Amino acid sequence: MKHLKIDNLHVSIGDREILRGLSLDLPTGQVHAIMGPNGSGKSTLAKVIAGHPDYTVTSGDILFDGESILEMEPDARARKGIFLAFQYPSEIPGVTIANFLRAALQARLPEGEELEATEYYAKLYEKMDLLEMPRTFTSRAVNEGFSGGEKKRCEILQMAMLQPTFALLDETDSGLDIDALKIVSHGVNSLRGPETGMLVITHYQRLLNYIVPDFVHVMVNGRIVESGTKELALKLEAEGYDWATEPEAEAVGA
Amino acid sequence: MSDTQTQLDIDREKGNFRYDVDYEFDAGTGLNEKTIDYICDVKGEPDWIRQFRKDALKKFLEKPMPTHWASHDLENIIFDKIRYYLSQGGQKPKKTWDEVPEDVKRTFERLGIPEQERKFLAGVEAQFDSEAAYSNIKEAVGKQGVIFMGSTDALKEHPEIFRKWFGKVIPTGDNKFSALNSAAFSGGSFIYVPPGVKVSHPLQAYFRINAENFGQFERTLIIADEGAEVTYMEGCTAPKFDTATLHSAVVELVALKGAKIQYITVQNWSNNVFNLVTKRGLAMEDAEVKWIDCNIGSRLTMKYPGVVMKGRRARGEVISIALAGDGQHQDTGAKMVHAADETTSNIVSKSISVGTGRATYRGLVKIPRHLKGCKNNTECDALLINTSSRTDTYPAISVRGTGNACQHEASVSQVSSEQIFYMQQRGLTEAQAMSLSVNGFVNDLVRQFPMEYSVELKRLIDLEMEGSVG
């Protein structure tokens, strides 16, 4: 079992502090959900783990199986096994999904070793079938002109191909209709297993009906204010975030 | 990947070597009537050519440098210090590589020319400084009546065809550098494809500058007779000298009724070369002239391939890729002159500026009032890699009359940091991410190049991008 450990993490963008002492332990084999109101810092957490250059870690640490990854470039973190399914994936005009994924897998091989094309395509088609994607999808440029649902499916396809140790899913349910949500969730669930840890970031409880988490954390103002089992998500659904935000507001006012 | 299988000339360092060569003929530095007499005597040219050259020299001297619109870097060309003719001898180019003198042959072998010829070409001409060292056409192609030889020989052996079209598509006084070429020209290819003959494999010319302070002025004339089809490719390299080298070619294409000419250039001069080239094609009724132009090398390139559509339903096309690296200026574009009804032209230009590189697009499209049913489509896209990179676009479109249509799209984009982060998150290094997105940018155009070139082009972009990050 491996652990992705966030230890008392403080993160700023410019002068603004967004994460204020966040701690979390995600072991492989588990799915953790992070819920919270808009602006609580959920997406920031995902991007900081992936190494986005806009954010500065002012204190605390991120440990991948005991080793700090703060000094690592985003690509080195990715190759180590961290995957971020983006809320807003970038378009890469002129680069087909097949070529992009091929380059990504090639980047994980030792120098001088070439990706085996037949095996690659067999695996790609298998994963595409899982996500109910037509074969013609491989020759489209990455995310270019994709609908919201296609973009999210494409993110999960990449995750399925790259088989990360820790996957961060940032608002993967946003922009999905119920059918697309089911397909994407099915794809994510098929990747669950003892070798993979997942952090599912969502604003709504809805997604968690399909991807059932082992633990749920509530994030408010850059901190985790409550942790529990999946029932916590139902409580949030019923009561909203107000009960969690009020004490924080008082603390600020005091 | 087949990267290792082909070794063409797009590697920027590949041409950077030089072997010593003994020159039997050297016109010395500077250009005057005596230089012209020297060249004519060595080449044994007829009087009309001597006169043609001398008239051109006058025009060259009269015409001012076009620095009122073009780069002031042109002022750094010192015409008096350039050598205008260098050769090992006035003898005919060899038909087998075995006959080519050893000191010249090893250069072309190192560039892989004989190997390419065996693999996929219908004929090759290899020019070393002022003259072709090698010129050969595959027997089967020759038997179809196709003529492929150096211009120097063609004007002696086929004066009737040569003289009819020589200087007709690009008149001597077209611009200062076409006048210079007309005065000092030597080498280049002459191709004649008889009616109805479709040459199945490309013919290739390779231009090599080996000497320092030298000017190469090849002259190419390609005539595709009625219904004929031909593809011509040219490549070029030079060693990196400390001093400036000049390359100023004139290329004239004539596509007669229903003929098709495709002209592919991969320009990879070293960064000390001024590359000032005039290229134009004439397309008669139902004929098609297509320029596929890729500019990677040189210090300053000024090149605007053109098509004059003189016959009904003629088509003109320019597909252009320019990569301006640190310190380079690629000033390229296209000229489309519609001179008959229902003619169509298409320009697609993509440029990439890296570091302090500068890419300029200049496009001229002319459709006069009296014509009907003419169409032009122009797309020009520029990609900037670094904040110090620069791009400029100067379209000049004149479409008159009511029955004509023109469409122009231009874009400037930058590789965004979010895009790079996204790709890095998938495990690509910053340089790999950059080169993948640059390759994506030119992908649709690169696919129009022969496979051997497109693979190398991708590899070159990878190399350039490694230097652009970090």
List pLDDT tens digits, range B293-347: 999 889 999 999 999 999 999 999 999 999 999 999 999 999 999 999 999 999 9
Q: How far apart are CA B33 and CA B30, in angstroms?
A: 10
Instruction: Confirm whether A101 is domain-assigned.
Output: no
Mean pLDDT confidence for B32-41: 95
Top-confidence range, B93-97, B300-304, B384-388: B300-304
Q: Is the pLDDT of residue A252 over 80?
A: no
Mean pLDDT confidence for B172-198: 96
A162 and chain B in contact, CB less than 8 A: yes
Q: How far apart are CA A77 and CA A90, in angstroms?
A: 19
Instruction: Confirm whether A169 is domain-assigned.
Output: yes
Mean pLDDT confidence for B18-43: 90
Q: Side-chain half-sphere of A240: how many Cα atoms within 13 Å?
A: 5
**Residues B274/B300, Cβ–Cβ less than 8 Å:** yes
Total domain count, chain A = 1
pLDDT at B9: 38
Chain A residues with CB inside 8 Å of B425's CB?
A: 50-51, 74-75, 78, 83-84, 86
Quote the DSSP letter at residue B175: S
- Strand segments (E) across chain A: 3-13, 16-27, 31-35, 56-64, 67-68, 82-85, 166-170, 197-202, 215-220, 223-228
Range 399-438 of B in CB contact (< 8 A) with A: 416-419, 421-430, 432-433, 436-437
Distances (CA, A) of B298 to B267, B309, B323, B325, B466: 8, 30, 10, 10, 20
Nearest CA in chain B to A78: B427
Q: Is the pLDDT of residue A174 over 90?
A: no
Whether B441 and A83 lie within 8 Å, measured CB to CB: no
List pLDDT tens digits, range A197-224: 999 999 888 899 999 999 999 999 999 9
d(CA B423, nearest CA chain A) in Å: 8
Residues forming beta bridges with residue A96, ordered by sequence position: A141
CA nearest to A50, candidates A74, A27, A72, A34: A74
Average pLDDT of every residue of chain A: 92
Chain A residues with CB inside 8 Å of B4's CB?
A: none
Chain A residues with CB inside 8 Å of B421's CB?
A: 52-53, 74, 90
Task: Choose the mutation target among B2, B381, B422, B429 for the interface with A, i.e. most A CBs under 10 Å.
Answer: B422
- Determine how β-strand B25-26 pairs with β-strand B86-87: antiparallel
Instruction: Confirm whether A184 is domain-assigned.
Output: yes
Whether A73 and B429 lie within 8 Å, measured CB to CB: yes
Instruction: Confirm whether A95 is domain-assigned.
Output: no
Which of B419, B430, B436 has its CB closest to that of A90?
B419
pLDDT at B90: 54
Which of A78, A93, A94 has its CB closest to that of B426?
A78
pLDDT at B68: 92
pLDDT at A251: 42
Residue A37 belongs to domain with CATH number: 3.40.50.300
Cα maximum dimension of chain B: 69
Q: How many helices (H) and strands (E) does chain A have?
A: 8, 10
Task: Choose the mutation target among B381, B418, B426 for the interface with A, i.e. most A CBs under 10 Å.
Answer: B426
Domain around A172: 3-88+164-253
Strand order in the sheet with A215-220: A82-85, A166-170, A197-202, A31-35, A215-220, A223-228
Taking CB atoms within 8 Å and a gap of at least 24, the contacts of B96-99 are B96/B136, B97/B134
**Residues B332/B293, Cβ–Cβ less than 8 Å:** yes
Average pLDDT of every residue of chain B: 90
d(CA B429, nearest CA chain A) in Å: 6
Torsion of the alpha carbons at B441, B445, B447 and B448, rounded to the nearest 10: -170
Instruction: Confirm whether A130 is domain-assigned.
Output: no
Q: What is the ipTM of this complex?
A: 0.95
Chain B residues with CB inside 8 Å of A52's CB?
A: 421
Helix axes A178-190 and A117-130, enclosed angle (nearest 10):
130
Phi, psi of B258 (to 5 degrees): 70, 5
Q: Is the pLDDT of residue B4 over 50?
A: no
pLDDT at B7: 31
Instruction: Confirm whether A142 is domain-assigned.
Output: no
Confidence of residue A73 (pLDDT cuts 50, 70, 90): very high
pLDDT at B469: 65
Confidence of residue B108 (pLDDT cuts 50, 70, 90): confident
pLDDT at A234: 84
Instruction: Confirm whether A202 is domain-assigned.
Output: yes
Q: Is the pLDDT of residue B140 over 90?
A: no
Confidence of residue B77 (pLDDT cuts 50, 70, 90): very high
Distances (CA, A) of B326 to B16, B382, B464: 17, 16, 10
Mean pLDDT confidence for A15-23: 95
Chain A residues with CB inside 8 Å of B427's CB?
A: 75, 78-79, 104, 107-108, 162
Q: How far apart are CA B130 and CA B216, in angstroms?
A: 6
Whether B427 and A104 lie within 8 Å, measured CB to CB: yes
Whether A78 and B424 lie within 8 Å, measured CB to CB: yes
Whether B417 and A78 lie within 8 Å, measured CB to CB: no
Confidence of residue B166 (pLDDT cuts 50, 70, 90): very high
Q: How far apart are CA B427 and CA B429, in angstroms?
A: 6
Whether A95 and B437 lie within 8 Å, measured CB to CB: yes
pLDDT at B345: 98
Task: Choose the mutation target among A75, A106, A161 for the interface with B, i.e. most B CBs under 10 Å.
Answer: A75
Tokens 């596929």 correspond to B292
pLDDT at B6: 29
Does an H or E element contain B247, and which?
strand B245-247
Q: Which residues of A160-193 are buried (b: 16+ CB within 10 A; e: fewer)?
A: bbbbbbbbbbbbbbeebeeebbebbbebbeebbe
CA nearest to B272, candidates B29, B70, B76: B76
B398 and chain A in contact, CB less than 8 A: no
- Determine how β-strand B260-267 pairs with β-strand B288-295: parallel
The helix/strand/coil state of B177 is: helix
Which of B432, B440, B443 has its CB closest to that of A107?
B432
Instruction: Confirm whether A94 is domain-assigned.
Output: no
Which of A73, A94, A101 has its CB closest to that of B441?
A94
Q: How far apart are CA B343 and CA A93, in angstroms?
A: 32
pLDDT at B120: 77
**Residues B292/B266, Cβ–Cβ less than 8 Å:** no
Lowest average pLDDT, out of A238-247, B247-256, B264-273, goes to A238-247
Whether A78 and B1 lie within 8 Å, measured CB to CB: no
